[in-house]
Each structure stands twice: as structure tokens, then as C-alpha cells.
Amino acid sequence: MPRLNNISKLEALRKNLQKKMKSFHTTMIICNGTCTQAAGSLDVIKSIKKELTRHGLEKDVHVRLTGCHGFCEHEPIIVFEPGNLFYCHVTAEDAKELIAKTVLKGEVIERLLYEDPLTHKKFRTEEEIPFYKAQDRQLLSLNKFVDPCSIEDYISRGGYGALAKTLTGIAPETVIEEVRESGLRGRGGGGFSTGRKWLECYEEPGDEKYVICNADEGDPGAYMDRCLLEANPHLIIEGMMIGAWAVGARQGYIYVRHEYPLAVRHARFAINQARAYGLLGDNILGTSFSFDIEIARGGGAFVCGESTALMASIEGKVGEPRPKDIHTVKSGLWDKPTVLNNVETWANVPSIILNGSKSFASKGTKGSKGTKIFALTGQVKNTGLVEVAMGTTLHDIVFNIGGGSKNGKSIKAVQTGGPSGGCLPVSKFGLPVDFDALTKAGSMMGSGGMVVMDEGTCMVDVAKYFLNFLRDESCGKCVPCRLGVDRMLEIVTDITEGRGRPEQIDLLKELADTVSEGSLCALGKTAPNPVLSTMRYFYDEYAAHVEKKRCPAGVCKSLISYTIHPEKCEGCGICIKACPHNAVRGEKKKAHVINLLECRKCGICVAECKFDAIMVG
């Protein structure tokens, strides 16, 4: 492998690679991220490769295994180039037909095309599909063109061009000014201005500085960082290198969860490739800039996503936050000035340098610029990764991109920002996704998890779920977070189990204030958000639980009972067979009855009944 010791060599390599790419007759892009592998992509790839060998097409057809494209609901996905033909839900059995018809004859297999669930219209290319059409995919669109295990793919698409541009003619101050001008704000949740952070670190004296990429993503339902690191690791490496050049760091770390094995593997592979090409190491591209990246694997503690806990973890200490009276840009990793940014923040840097801050700042709102990736999950039709310009309304994301409710129930709320965020009701769906607007509404942008909930979700139960998560994931160092969250969970559990007293709601509020004001780190300070936001927007549900001892959504088991409507019941006996506790009695053709003493409220009979005769209430 040639060492690229000057910029002209990089450009020459790029030209060579582009020529080589053009020599292929067809390129089959098969997504192969963690989510796709779960959907069975490995079998698909195996059988496609076998078919290609059988037809002797290995040299003409290029198979590119990429990371996730974002449309996780319809994976495995195959895209054909040229032409951009888009197939979804491909199985291993389809391989033969794929090669025989589409590759050899250029025919379209109608069965594998994406079909809109509402209009039943079929779409041939990715661009036409409403899910993609409504988005503004600046980062995610790159995933399609890059095999994460191939630096050649990345370079041929113009990769490391921003680095070359930086190293040959942009002073660190100018880089920082450019990033500051762009208005890029930290994508990990805090929303601090990236340029300002870099400037503060740059101004710190000392020649030992660090840059860190935070890939310790732990929010339930969020996976955009994993996807980016898995799909395009070189983009993040390039971003980190530009950041390191700007602040004067020689060493970088990627802190990634051990639970993301593919991301760890791809990042490690990418680093080794970059080292082999001389893009990491001493005197990069023949300049005086030297930089290297190491991977630090996290054990999967949620709290290690907090900056000081993360740095303690890299140092080999217990991952507990420390008070941040002195900021990490002044004294961070090994007490040296450190810049810590989220995966998505780093990924945005190369394009800012290459295309200028103006093109980045042209998208978004006054306070929040650029695009943001959200992990859209929950009760919507199209779950997946969604990238939209800042300022897009929640309504657009949930209904236009997400396709609305999955099972016909009306949508009630969306939970943004993970355990530190809050639940916003439908009445607030006009809100734009913008750091300040969401914080004002009592939620937060967070790292970008978005869980959509419908009428079948009890908001008190949601609060209980997040409190339970936070109680287990709190590091336990400071009293308000360790004991306060635990007591909040105790109270909320009381409420969901029918022991709630009216004064407990006030106590819950007071406790929430104590935890958010008194805790040591951001995890504790934002821990009461799920409770506070559900109380703010869904107070009637709390009141129903406490005063009427009723769960309006029919979720809290202690507060509901199952009864059979005597007129609707046809006496088919299906529920009698289905009930694992033998709680349903009755004769054939006569209305059945549920014995409430034996009923464990598992809900199996409701799912089995064909006449909607079983009522929850």
C-alpha cells in the first residue's frame, strides 16, 4: 500500500480509484449494518455472491457492502447502480432471480419494489420513496457510496479532501472560525457551540491536548451514532483529524461501547487502513502534523456518555463524573485540555471545511444550523434513521416521514432525547426540532432518539420505565441522583399500582426539583425530565391513576380488569384455550366469563379474541 506523503499522491490515488470504479458494469449496494444483519442480510449476501460466481460475473458486478441506509423497517435493502433501482425485503431465495433478471437482463422485479402502505403505489428508485423524499440527507446519503471496510471507496468519493485542504493552507484559527461561523452545535445533546469549545481548548496553553469522539450512545431507542460509525468511520476520523489540527492535539480516542461490536470492528479497521496509507501517524501528508487515534471500549454504562465520566473511563478509572467547576476543555483527559464531541458532530466537520460554513449555515433555524439525524422508533409505520434540516416540525417527521400510526390507534405523544428528554403531546407537534425550542417545551433534542407513542401507551408507565432505566444506570455517586431517582420510582410505582395518594404528586414534583437542582452531573440534572414533562402535559393521567384508581390507557395491571362483553361473545372457546391461567370459563356457544381472582392480566385473550368481546377497563 503506498504511503501518501504528499497531497498530489492523494489526488493521484483518488483519480486511479475513480477510474477503477467506472470499470464495473453494475454495482450492487447491499446494506449490512447491525440492524440489517439482524434482518438476515448475511444470508442474502452469501447467496448473491454464490450466484455471481456461478454466472462468472465477479469481475463485472461489484458488490458493495455498506452500513445502514436508514430505512430499517424494510431491510435488507439492495440498490443497483447505475439506475438506483431499489429493492427491499430481499431474502436469500431471491438471489437467483435477482441475478438472472435484474443484473443480466435489466428487468425489474415488481415484487421486491417498495410499496406505499396507503396508496399501494410502487416506487422504483430511492429518490421517489416518500420516506427519503421528505428528508434532507447530508450525512446518511454518503453511507450508500462507502464500504466501511474500504478506505479506497471513501477516498474515491472525495474523502480526506477536507483534511488535505486544511493541512495545506488553513491556519488553526481559521478552521476554528469557520466551524464557529457555521453555527454547528454539539449533537450529543448539550448543544454547546462546537467552534467555541475548540477555541477555548486552542487558547489553553500546553502542547499535550486530546480530542475524543463520544460514541457511547446509550439512550433506549437511539442508534444514529452506531450507524454512522459503522457505515462511514473514515468520515469521523477525518473530522477528528481536522479538529486535532485546529486545537493542536496529537492523540485522539474513539470511545465506543463494547455492545457495538460491528462499530468497534469497523472503526479499528478504518484506523489501521488510515495508518497504512500514512493518513494517521507522523507527518501526515508530508506536513508537520502528527496525529493518531486509539479505540477505547466502554463497558456499556450509560453514565459514561457524560464527558468527565467518559474521560475517567478512558483513564482506566471507575466511570463516575466529577464536578465540572473546571471545564474539560481546560482540564480533561489526564488533566490536559480535551475536546470531546459526539460522532455526528465530528461527521459534520469535513463538509463544513470543504463546502464552507455558509453552505452549512444555510440550513436550519436561527439558533440551530445544519441537519440532524433522528432515530425514529415506536408506533410509526416507517421506523429508521431520519435526517432532516433543523427547524423541521415534529409533525413532518412523525407523519410525513414516519408515515403516521402503525396500527390505526391515534398518536398521542413523542418522546425525544432519551431518558434525559421528555414527552411532547400531539398539540406540540408544531414545534420545530431546534435545541432551544425543544428545551423550552420541557423536552430536549438529546442525541436524537424519537419514540412515537400511541393511545395504547400509559404516560405514567412511560415515566416509570425511564426512572427504572435511570435508577439502574445512575453511577450512584451523588445522593440526589442515587436516592432521589430511586424514591421517585418508588412513588411512581405506587401510583401505577393503585397505592397513590394525592400528596405524593406534590412530593414527586418537589423531589424532581431537588434532583434536577442538586445533582452532580447532567445525567442527574436531567433525570426528572420524563416525569416533569409527562406531568406537565398528561397531568390528567396521573390524576386518574391517583384519584380514580384507573389507568386510561389500560396498561397498568393493578388498575385494570378484563371482562367479557356478554353480547359480543360468540362462545367460540378460543380464549379458554389461550388462557394460560385457566381463568376463562364457559360453555360452547354461550358467553364466557373471566374469573377475576385467577386472571393474571396477561392480555393473551384480548389478542386472541376475534370479536373484540374482551374489554379492558
Partner 1 sequence: MLQYVTLTIDGSSVRAAKGTSVLDAAIEYGICIPHLCHVPVLSDTGACRLCIVEHVKNGRSTITTSCTLNVQEGMVINSNTEKVVKLRRNIAELLVAEAPNSRAIQDIAVRCGVKDVRYPFRNNNCVQCGRCVRYCTQFWRANALGFVGRGKERHVDYPLGVRPDFCKNCGSCTLYCPMSVTPCDGPMKHGEERLCGKCESQLSMSVGLPGACVKCELGKGFQCARQA
* Binding footprint of partner 1 on the chain (CB under 8 A): 301, 303, 318, 322-323, 325, 471-480, 482-484, 486-487, 490, 507, 510-511, 514, 517-520
- State the minimum distance, in angstroms, from the CB of residue 435 to partner 1: 19
Q: Which amino acid is at 120?
A: H
Closest to partner 1 by CB, 219 vs 387, is: 219
Distance CA 40, CA 32 (A): 9
Q: What is the DSSP letter of 207?
A: S
Distance CA 29, CA 15 (A): 22
Closest to partner 1 by CB, 107 vs 517, is: 517
Contact partners, residue 587, CB within 8 Å, separation at least 6: 571
List Cα–Cα distances, 367 to 77, 185, 344, 521, in angstroms: 36, 9, 18, 25
Q: Burial, 350: exposed, middle or buried (Cβ in 10 Å; 0-12, 13-18, 19+)? A: buried
Peptide bond into 480 cis (omega under 30): no
- State the minimum distance, in angstroms, from the CB of residue 468 to partner 1: 10
DSSP notation for 470-525: HHHHS---SHIIIIIHHHHHHHHHHHHTT---HHHHHHHHHHHHHHHHH-SSHHHH
Closest to partner 1 by CB, 164 vs 309, is: 309
Length of the chain: 617
- State the minimum distance, in angstroms, from the CB of residue 168 to partner 1: 42
- State the minimum distance, in angstroms, from the CB of residue 495 to partner 1: 14
- State the minimum distance, in angstroms, from the CB of residue 420 to partner 1: 16
Q: State in Å, rounded, how far the first CA of the chain is from the last one.
A: 69
Distance CA 211, CA 206 (A): 14
- State the minimum distance, in angstroms, from the CB of residue 557 to partner 1: 22
Closest to partner 1 by CB, 31 vs 523, is: 523
Helix (H) or strand (E) holding 80, with range, is: strand 78-81
Cell (9 digits) for 319 = 466511570
- State the minimum distance, in angstroms, from the CB of residue 323 to partner 1: 4
- State the minimum distance, in angstroms, from the CB of residue 217 to partner 1: 18
Closest to partner 1 by CB, 37 vs 468, is: 468
Contact 379, 409 (CB under 8 A): yes
Contact 526, 516 (CB under 8 A): yes
Q: Burial, 372: exposed, middle or buried (Cβ in 10 Å; 0-12, 13-18, 19+)? A: buried
Distance CA 584, CA 392 (A): 50
Closest to partner 1 by CB, 100 vs 483, is: 483
- State the minimum distance, in angstroms, from the CB of residue 473 to partner 1: 6
Contact partners, residue 597, CB within 8 Å, separation at least 6: none
Closest to partner 1 by CB, 190 vs 248, is: 190
User: 3-class SS at 299?
Assistant: coil
Q: Give the bridge partners for 211, in sequence order.
A: 252, 339
Cell (9 digits) for 421 = 428528554
Closest to partner 1 by CB, 479 vs 606, is: 479
Closest to partner 1 by CB, 308 vs 342, is: 308
- State the minimum distance, in angstroms, from the CB of residue 471 to partner 1: 6
Closest to partner 1 by CB, 38 vs 507, is: 507
- State the minimum distance, in angstroms, from the CB of residue 518 to partner 1: 5
- State the minimum distance, in angstroms, from the CB of residue 434 to partner 1: 23
DSSP alpha helices (H): ranges in 204-303? Answer: 224-231, 233-247, 261-276
Q: What is the DSSP letter of 410?
A: P
CA 140 to chain centre: 12
Closest to partner 1 by CB, 15 vs 317, is: 317
- State the minimum distance, in angstroms, from the CB of residue 490 to partner 1: 7
Q: What is the DSSP letter of 327?
A: -
DSSP notation for 551-579: -TTS--GGG--EEE-TTT-----HHHHH-
Cell (9 digits) for 46 = 452469501
Closest to partner 1 by CB, 128 vs 436, is: 436
Closest to partner 1 by CB, 19 vs 499, is: 499
